[in-house]
Structure formats: structure tokens, C-alpha cells
Structure 1
């Protein structure tokens, strides 16, 4: 089917080379150019990597702030929990704001907010300032750059390879963790936590020019059809009433049990990853005598395997049942967390390395099948609904970030938190299996390469 241009003067860019007639009258064959969607995906990937610095720091702050100011781990965990909760609660509104003002403007403003919040923490002296700067400002900024950003880009720019692209973009956070965790832990140990916070601010600022100059809101802005689409898709008009649309999408989705199953399972996902491992793994390992830089490096290695696991999960999501994939991911994660308390020691040993590899492959593998289920059930509102599911993820993470600190202060150990999270993962596996299947018509795919 021939693509229909936006106007009579502008035609969509070709996705493949045009064959030369046998008589040679058309001249030499032009090499095929990559579709513009891949360039947008690359900019999105780099943006997510650059913004991952803010997610790498909280676990490194707990011991330094406790040592310098005497703040309890519970209060520091509370600031992190505010950050995580706002990260999630902002996401659905950010997805709607992207429909109103465009991806580029929303993401650029989010990065500037993160830079402001991280920069202001350098001069703080009271715990409420940590809650305000790191909890509120960085939380709001990071929420606008949440996984709904990746879902929106994948939904707008891709028809073919959506699962794979979602996996790659999701892996950007893990790649950023790999880059920033060892660096920030070294800065924190040798120069203090203030230069580390300043590094986060600089990283967020450095990404802004890439977003503003290279990111585009919609394929129609570049005069092309979405990758894999058979027809050109005109750019829709801006959608007003972003907050109202986000709330209406929530009310509509909340009428069915599917939303609550996805949200509940994803809340457990957040509790067992961002809330527990990302926030408390480093101080828990340090409790057993492992140096902070070594523990942070192990957490960064999780990011290495997270990239492979998430991309593979995106590939599998295009081919297998997302429900069964989720059940497998949650079940295996729960088993690994049950064994973790027995693996901590003051040195790195093969069993701990095995956990790091295993957990890394599973870390964010849940995202592509969860997005696929949201797309299957909620269509055009899938990015917004996924934003609400992500809000549940972050609320679960926030609760464990705080309660983990409370448990450590009260019991002197994190063991009960690891065991409880492992048991909850088994519940999430069961919840995923009972999500009903909703058949949808397969899209017409024009390009498969």
C-alpha cells in the first residue's frame, strides 16, 4: 500500500531502496537509509542513560548522611520514598502532558528540574531539605522521565519491533546505572557526597541539548510513517486537559480487574527492585564488611546483565505470552531474594556473583511484557495507563525504601525484608497468570527489516 503524504508538497521519506529496472534507466541503486524512528530511539536511549545518574545515588547517600548529620536511616529512606512515590505518581500526568506539549518540551523541563533539585542538595543541612530537594524536586523531574517516556516513543514511532524497542529503551536505565554507579561511589568515598550530587546535576544538564536539538515528537514532524506502518499517520492535534485525561484513563481502567492485577504485580516489582535492592543493597552489603565501592560495583554489574535481560525480554514479548513471561520473571526473582541473606560476606565469592548475574537478567525484564499487556487492553491510552501501573510500582518501591530503613534501625539487619520481598514475588507471579487474554487484530506491517 502506498504511503499518503501529509501534504502534496511533502512526501514521507523512503524506508527501503527502490529497485533499479532491468534496462538500467533509473541509474545506480541508492543505498537504503535507516528509518528516522531509529534515530529518535537512539536519542531517547542516550537521554535515559544520562538521566540515570539521579537513580544511582540514593543507595550511596544513606551511610554518608547518617555519619555526617546523624539522621536515621528511616528518615533518609523516607526522603528516598518521597522521590520514588512522586516518580510514579507523576508518570501518568507526564504521558498526558507529552500529548499536550510534546515529548521534547516535557523531557527538557524534567531534566532541568532534576538538575535544580540535585544541585540544591549540596548546601543542605536539615533533613527536610533532603526531602524537599531530593524527594520532591528530583522525584517530580524523574517522574516526567519515567518509563512512560519510553512507552510513548515506542508507541508513536514504531509499529513493528515495538517490544524490542521497548526493551532497548528500558535497558537505557541499566546502562546509565553501569556508567554512573562506580563513578558516583568512587566520588562519594574519596571526595564526599556533595561532589557526587553535583555530578548528578551536571549529567542532567548535559543531556538537555541532545533532547532539544535531536528529539522529535511525532513521525509526522519528520515527514515519515511510523516504522513498520503501511500508511502515513498525520500528527494528531494537541490534547488539552492533560490532568483530566490522565484521571479519566485511570477511572476507566480501574473498572476492570486487569488493571488491579497489573498494578499489584508491578507494585511488588518496584518493592523488590528500586525500593529494596537499589536502595538497600549497598548498605546491607556494607553491614557485612564489604566496601562501599565494591558493593556499588556489584550493583553496577547487575546493570550489565539487566541490559541483556531487558532486550531479550522485549524480543520474547514479541513472540511469547507476556503473562507467562511475567510469571516466570517474578517467580525466579522471588527465589533469588530468598537466598540472598545467606550470600552476604566481606568478600566477593562465586555464589554472590551468580546472584548478581541471575538478578540482573531479571531486574527490568518485567517492563516489556507489562507494557504489552497495557497496549493490548487499553489501546491509545496504554501509555497513560502504564503510567498509573508504574505509579503502583513506585509506591511499592517507596514503601520498601522506607520500611527497609525502619527494619534496619529496629532489628539491626535487613534479613526480614529480603524474605518478605521474596514471598511477595511469588504472589506477583500468580497475579500475572490470571490476567485475561484480549485478542487484538494484528497490525499491517510494511517493513520487517
Structure 2
């Protein structure tokens, strides 16, 4: 009505918060897709630091004479905090907004990575890389993608989740070959500085272009039939995160999702991302070649995760998880035989492609199940599920280095992770479907006399 008065009288529109927008013209791109694009680029820019831990093992051992167990412990602190911070970050986004939390997180990543060039003791590595980068990366974890998806989309959520999840792999794809070249040619310190600068460069991009809610620009979420007002800031972010945890912990699906996702983290971030490069180097493969194989995983992870998001919109998420975990476990059982050759052979290429397609394909169906069971709290619940993912990753990051120090080989870790994936496939099928709400039965019409 106000818009009509403005147009017919020529009077200026009164200032105030934006109201619901007019219906979109056919063919016009919804603003939600631009927000998703900004989130994608942000995660890609921050994704560079995820590439570095596996490249640091040998250089740090050489420069400081630290054991692989010590280095693995520092990485495990990073991975654990990455997960444990996520639910609190999701609650903080509800309190202070997405872009403020993400801007602070990227700054923490830059500071932590930059300070590593001055370290001389293992406790400093644990503090800078483990704590600072872990806290910053946890705020940029997949709970960020879940929050953006939940706020800006009511349709195509599985697809958007897959695309944003794939963004981290894209960051790995872009930066991993460069970082491995820097480590091999110029030592590990220039690589740390590159990570710090790349994270810092994204901060103004986030601040200027990212928006917290569709109501900020007077729009309804993509696919929504009506305008959705922006909710008021939720105080007590820490209390809310814990309250949601205690509520979800009383349900069976939460523990099944947390258990399967812990195995997911153990078999990806904790195992392959941390130990594949040093394991391949043990068998004579150059670091740059092993890092390039991880980059190929990043290429096919993008394809696999987007495809998984598409499948999640159409098929039973529980069965998708079972298939993904079973295939991952089978592939890990063959890895010790493939690592024997010092050069890259066709079977290794097949493993990398196969494993890449399955790398984080588990994320879209896991988020979908959280959304199905926990509704408006699903982003925070997924943050806690992600915490279990990173705890699993942290345990294997440390255990893998310890196993290498003890047995002189990673074989026991590959086989153990394959068995865990088989267990995750079975647990996925146990997750129950949430019953549909009962529709009240209409009374029978009175018989006509």
C-alpha cells in the first residue's frame, strides 16, 4: 500500500526497515543464490588452511626433531576445536549475525597461521595452529553452510548444502599444489604466510557482500510462499548451544548421527588429509606428487558432494549414508597395497577418484536428517554432530602418528578405519524416520434423508 501511495502521489517513501518485496519477475535470479555464491567463495578462500597439516609433518619433524605423535597431537587439537566450536558458532550467528562471526573467525585463522613462523617449541605449535586456527576454523565449519542454507532457502536445500560443502574441497584443490610447491622449494614458513594472507583477504569480501537474513533486503527465502520476518537476536549463545545439546542428547537419532559422523571424520580429515602425504612419502613418492593426488580428491569431491546434495533431495538419506560409508570402507582396505609403489600407478588414480567422490558426500544427507528431526535447532544440532566428526578426526590424527612411530607403518590405521566405516554403514540404517504428523480425520458427512 505504501508503495502504491508513493507511486501515485510522488511523495517520498518514509524511512524504515525494508518490507516484503514484490513478487519476483520471471527469470530474475533470487538474491539467495548470490548469498550462496559469497558463502562458497568465502569457504574456498578459508579452505587453504585445511590443506596444510599433512604437508607440515615431515618439515616440522626435520626442523624441530618433534615426533610424529607430537605433531599429530597439535593437529588433533586443531581438529577437535574445529568441531567443538561449531555449535557455539552457530548460536553466535543467531546472536550477532553471520558476517560478524565469519569475519572474526577469518582473522583468527590469519593470526594463528602467521604466528607459526615464529615458533620454536611444540607448545607454540599447539597454541597457534591447534587453538587459534582451530577456533577460527570451527566458526567457519559446516554449521556456517547449514545456517546460510536454512535462512536463505526452503527449496533446493540439499543441492545448496552440497555446493557449500564442496567449497572446502575447492579451496584444497586451489591451494594444495601451490602450498606443496612452497614447502618443497622454499620451506614451510612461506606456506604458512600464504594461508594467513589468503584468510585475511576474504574478510572485506565477507563484510561488504554477505547478508545475515533475506529480510535484511526485503525478500522471502528462496522457494518460500510468503515473507519471513527476521528473528530477533537470540541472547545467551553458549546457554542455547548447551540447551540444544541436552535436548538432542535425549533422542536416539542424535547419537547415531554423531557416531556415524565421528567415523566420517576419522576416515577423512584425521586419516587421509593428515597422514596420506607422509605415508606416501614413506614409500618414496615425492611430496608434490602425493599432494597433487590429494588435490585430485578435491576435484572429485566437488562432483560427489554436489551429486550427493541432488540425491538427498530425492532419496532416503539413511540409505545414502549406508552406501557412502560401505564404499569408503572397501576402498580403504585396498590402500596399503596401492601405496607400495613409489610412483603413481593407474590403481592409485582409481582409488583417488573413487575416494574423492565419497569424501564428504555424507554431509548433505546428515544435515537433512538433522533438519528432519530437529527443525529450527538443526544448525546447532548439526554443529554438535560435526563436533563428533572432528573428535573422531582428532583421535585418528594422533593415533595415526603414534602408530607410525610404534609400528613403522600406517597399515593398521588403514585397516582399522575400513572396519569402522563398515560399522557406520550399519548404524546409518538403524536411524529411524521421523513420523509424519497425524492429519485429523474429518467427521463422516451426515446421511441424506
Judge same fold: TM > 0.5, yes or no. yes
1:169-198: CA deviation from partner (whole Å, max 9, x where unpaired): 000001000001101000000000000000
Verify: 1:243 aligned to 2:238, yes or no.
Answer: yes
Residue 178 (structure 2) aligns with: 183
Contact 2:20 2:227 in 1 (8 A): no
Residue 25 (structure 1) aligns with: none
Cα separation, partners in 2 of 1:314 and 1:440, compared to 1, 3 Å: farther
Contact 1:376 1:440 in 2 (8 A): no
1:242-296: CA deviation from partner (whole Å, max 9, x where unpaired): 0000001000000011110000000000000000000000000000100000000
Verify: 1:427 aligned to 2:423, yes or no.
Answer: yes
Give the one of 411, 416, 425 matched to 1:415. 411
Verify: 1:118 aligned to 2:113, yes or no.
Answer: yes
Q: Report the number of matched residues.
A: 422
Q: Distance in 1 between matches of 2:222 and 2:204?
A: 25
For residues 22-171 of structure 1, what are the structure 2 equivalents within 5 Å?
Answer: 32-171=27-166
Residue 27 (structure 1) aligns with: none
Give the one of 354, 360, 366 matched to 1:358. 354
Verify: 1:192 aligned to 2:187, yes or no.
Answer: yes
Gaps of 5+ in 2: 1-14, 438-449
Superposition TM-score, scaled by structure 1 size: 0.93
Gaps of 5+ in 1: 1-5, 18-31, 442-449
Q: Distance in 2 between matches of 1:36 and 1:354?
A: 39
For residues 339-350 of structure 1, what are the structure 2 equivalents within 5 Å?
Answer: 339-344=334-339, 345-350=341-346
* TM-fit CA distance, 1:8: 9.5
Q: Distance in 1 between matches of 2:18 and 2:260?
A: 49
Q: Distance in 1 between matches of 2:18 and 2:151?
A: 23
Helix, strand or coil for the counterpart of 1:233? coil
Q: Distance in 2 between matches of 1:9 and 1:390?
A: 35
Contact 2:18 2:215 in 1 (8 A): no
* TM-fit CA distance, 1:13: 5.0
* TM-fit CA distance, 1:341: 0.4
Give the one of 15, 25, 28 matched to 2:24. 15
1:91-125: CA deviation from partner (whole Å, max 9, x where unpaired): 00000000000000000000000000000001111
Contact 1:157 1:218 in 2 (8 A): yes
Contact 1:272 1:397 in 2 (8 A): yes
Cα separation, partners in 2 of 1:236 and 1:440, compared to 1, 3 Å: farther
Contact 1:86 1:143 in 2 (8 A): yes
* TM-fit CA distance, 1:37: 0.2
Helix, strand or coil for the counterpart of 1:52? helix
Residue 446 (structure 1) aligns with: none
Superposition TM-score, scaled by structure 2 size: 0.93
Verify: 1:318 aligned to 2:313, yes or no.
Answer: yes
When the two chains are superposed, the root-mean-square deviation of aligned CA atoms in Å is: 1.2
* TM-fit CA distance, 1:12: 1.1
Residue 26 (structure 1) aligns with: none
Q: Distance in 2 between matches of 1:106 and 1:190?
A: 36
Residue 6 (structure 2) aligns with: none
* TM-fit CA distance, 1:16: 2.9
Helix, strand or coil for the counterpart of 2:242? helix
Residue 20 (structure 1) aligns with: none
Contact 2:18 2:217 in 1 (8 A): no
Q: Distance in 2 between matches of 1:440 and 1:209?
A: 44
Q: Which runs of 4+ in 1 moved over 3 A?
A: 6-11
Q: Distance in 2 between matches of 1:295 and 1:88?
A: 26
* TM-fit CA distance, 1:203: 0.5
Helix, strand or coil for the counterpart of 1:298? helix
Residue 385 (structure 2) aligns with: 389
